[in-house]
């Protein structure tokens, strides 16, 4: 047994892998095979044990209970009413308990929204962009697009003033439409919190993190970098302080010298686990595989499982297996080799364990270096990072004057040899 963590995060899956959609890239649907014959519903005694252990074993002022799937709303509202009842029963004086849920939005109606609002749930709503982009992969069991229902869920949550984030998976089909997606979220859905997750889907029969081939639904490293950079360039010129993009917030934390809130950019793993509908606790949501099963919380306490040597090794491996190429990388402090699930390619000198998305991350982190330094410095001076919007306004004006007359397809007057639109012209918002 090793050191006991002060805090940890668990994604609980009350319906296991069961979902009312059939998204073509979903990595979790195949997990159903891990529990043949199961009803895939978290039982009441497990729910109580889970809430009790989550609250009792953490020594932080705020405990977060996070529901995920599959699709957690399939449990029905009464399950979540009961979880709130149990939270109140076990709540420690001086602590607060917050609840989050990731949902596809299909079942969300006024009643759900009233419940979310009343109990301060933070909801993550999965949406992949505009109708055509979303409906390409996010389909129901009959193969029909789900966009209209998801947008309806967003509007309902707005009506009831429920806090929600939009969560977008970036894949081969939508990756080349960054501004279309971002502007739709910002201007049409009026969203102020946005998360992007790259789809890197291994092409194998097991559904586990094995092999080094990816499906053609996966985003490429270059697309991923370009997606982030393009949205960043728009965000930094007009939306800082108004729209929160989780990836940009995480980067700013790294430049400021704090730990980013996203585990993928942390130095080590190990504190973001996943629990199945029957109480089986796994090292991470992306490693719900027999090899990473720590045990069942009805048989052994969650704290014992999390502080086990197996989980400590899982956490430390993220740092210990970093290739030399990453160790020497200029942006390692912000990237840390990203998530180990994506580390299956070789470095240029043949060392295994490089992240499949490396090229994209490197491009993105190098691109944001100057503005991140600017914003981190503002934070240190107790000033608003959003001052950068004004900085860019003046800078863009200066560049416009400097490059007056240059057409988008001309060679850039700076002498880079690139077209103006791919060089200094790129920085002007379209
Ligand atoms: S394996 Fe990836 S998702 Fe899991 S804890 Fe580590 S960085 Fe986070
Ligand atoms: S950008 Fe690439 S080389 Fe640098 S730390 Fe990330 S994965 Fe490693």
Q: Which two tokens stand for residue 56?
A: 């009792």
Would you say the CB of residue 202 lies under 6 angstroms from ligand 2? no
pLDDT for 112 equals 98
For residue 58, give every residue at least 6 positions away whose Cβ sits within 8 Å of its Cβ, in sequence order, or none: 6, 7, 8
Is residue 285 part of the annotated active site? The answer reads yes
Segment holding 378, helix H or strand E: helix 369-380
Separation CA 321–CA 296 (nearest Å): 28
Taking the CA of residue 332 as reference, the ligand 2 atom at the shortest distance is 5
Average pLDDT over residues 254-262: 96
Average pLDDT over residues 89-105: 96
pLDDT for 2 equals 57
pLDDT for 245 equals 98
What percentage of the chain reaches a pLDDT higher than 70? 97
Separation CA 114–CA 107 (nearest Å): 13
- pLDDT over 80 at 430, yes or no: no
Separation CA 158–CA 155 (nearest Å): 5
Would you say the CB of residue 170 lies under 6 angstroms from ligand 2? no
- Tell me the CA–centroid distance for residue 310 and ligand 2, in Å: 26
The protein residue whose alpha carbon is closest to atom 3 in ligand 2 is 326
- pLDDT over 80 at 272, yes or no: yes
Would you say the CB of residue 221 lies under 6 angstroms from ligand 2? no
Range with top average pLDDT, 59-63, 116-120, 396-400:
116-120
* Mean pLDDT score of the chain: 93
- pLDDT over 70 at 28, yes or no: no
- Please indicate whether residue 205 or residue 202 has the higher confidence score (pLDDT): 202
Q: Determine which of 7-21, 181-195, 231-245 has the lowest per-residue pLDDT on average.
A: 7-21
- Tell me the CA–centroid distance for residue 328 and ligand 2, in Å: 9
Would you say the CB of residue 335 lies under 6 angstroms from ligand 2? yes
- pLDDT over 80 at 1, yes or no: no
Starting from the CA of residue 284, give the closest ligand.
1
- What single DSSP character describes residue 184? I
Could you write out the DSSP letters of every residue in 237-294?
A: HHTTTTSEEHHHHHHHHHHHTS--SSGGGSS---SEEEE-TTSEEES-GGG-SGGGEE
Would you say the CB of residue 11 lies under 6 angstroms from ligand 1? no
- Please indicate whether residue 413 or residue 368 has the higher confidence score (pLDDT): 368
Q: Which two tokens stand for residue 276?
A: 């199945």
What tens digit of pLDDT does each residue of 383-428 get?
Answer: 999 999 999 999 888 877 888 888 888 888 888 888 888 887 776 6
Separation CA 362–CA 333 (nearest Å): 11
- pLDDT over 70 at 226, yes or no: yes
- What single DSSP character describes residue 139? B
What tens digit of pLDDT does each residue of 276-286 get?
Answer: 999 999 999 99
Q: Which two tokens stand for residue 340?
A: 């180990």
What tens digit of pLDDT does each residue of 139-171 get?
Answer: 999 999 999 999 999 999 999 999 999 999 999
The protein residue whose alpha carbon is closest to atom 2 in ligand 2 is 358
């Amino acid at each position: 047994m090793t050191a006991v963590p002060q805090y940890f995060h668990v994604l609980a899956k009350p319906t296991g892998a069961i979902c009312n959609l059939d998204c073509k890239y979903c990595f979790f649907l195949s997990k159903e095979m891990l529990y043949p014959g199961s009803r895939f519903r978290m039982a009441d005694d497990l729910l109580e044990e889970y809430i009790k252990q989550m609250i009792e074993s953490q020594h932080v002022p705020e405990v977060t209970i996070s529901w995920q799937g599959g699709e957690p709303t399939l449990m029905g509202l009464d399950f979540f009413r009961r979880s709130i009842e149990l939270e109140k029963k076990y709540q420690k004086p001086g602590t607060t308990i917050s609840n989050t849920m990731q949902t596809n939005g299909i079942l969300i109606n006024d009643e759900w929204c009233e419940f979310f609002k009343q109990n301060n749930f933070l909801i993550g709503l999965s949406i992949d962009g505009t109708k055509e982009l979303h409906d390409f992969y996010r389909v129901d069991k009959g193969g029909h697009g789900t966009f209209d229902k998801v947008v309806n869920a967003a509007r309902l949550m707005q009506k009831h003033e429920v806090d929600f984030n939009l969560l977008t998976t970036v894949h081969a089909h939508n990756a080349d439409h960054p501004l279309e997606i971002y502007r739709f979220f910002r201007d049409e859905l009026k969203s102020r919190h946005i998360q992007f997750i790259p789809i890197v889907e291994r092409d194998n029969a097991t559904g586990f993190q094995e092999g080094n081939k990816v499906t053609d639904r996966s985003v490429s490293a270059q697309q991923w970098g370009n997606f982030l950079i393009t949205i960043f360039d728009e965000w930094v010129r007009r939306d800082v302080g108004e729209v929160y993009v989780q990836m940009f917030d995480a980067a700013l934390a790294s430049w400021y010298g704090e730990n980013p809130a996203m585990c993928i950019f942390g130095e080590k793993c190990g504190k973001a686990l996943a629990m199945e509908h029957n109480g089986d606790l796994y090292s991470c949501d992306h490693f719900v595989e027999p090899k990473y099963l720590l045990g069942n919380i009805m048989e052994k306490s969650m704290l014992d499982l999390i502080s086990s040597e197996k989980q400590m090794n899982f956490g430390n491996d993220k740092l210990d297996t970093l290739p030399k190429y990453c160790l020497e990388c200029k942006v390692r402090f912000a990237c840390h080799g990203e998530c180990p699930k994506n580390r299956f390619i070789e470095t240029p000198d043949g060392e295994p364990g490089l992240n499949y998305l490396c090229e994209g991350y490197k491009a993105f982190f190098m691109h944001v270096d100057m503005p991140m330094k600017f914003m981190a410095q503002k934070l240190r001076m107790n000033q608003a990072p959003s001052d950068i919007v004004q900085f860019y306004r003046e800078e863009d004006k200066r560049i416009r004057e400097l490059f007056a007359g240059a057409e988008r397809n001309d060679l850039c007057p700076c002498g880079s040899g690139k077209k103006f639109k791919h060089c200094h012209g790129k920085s002007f918002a379209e």
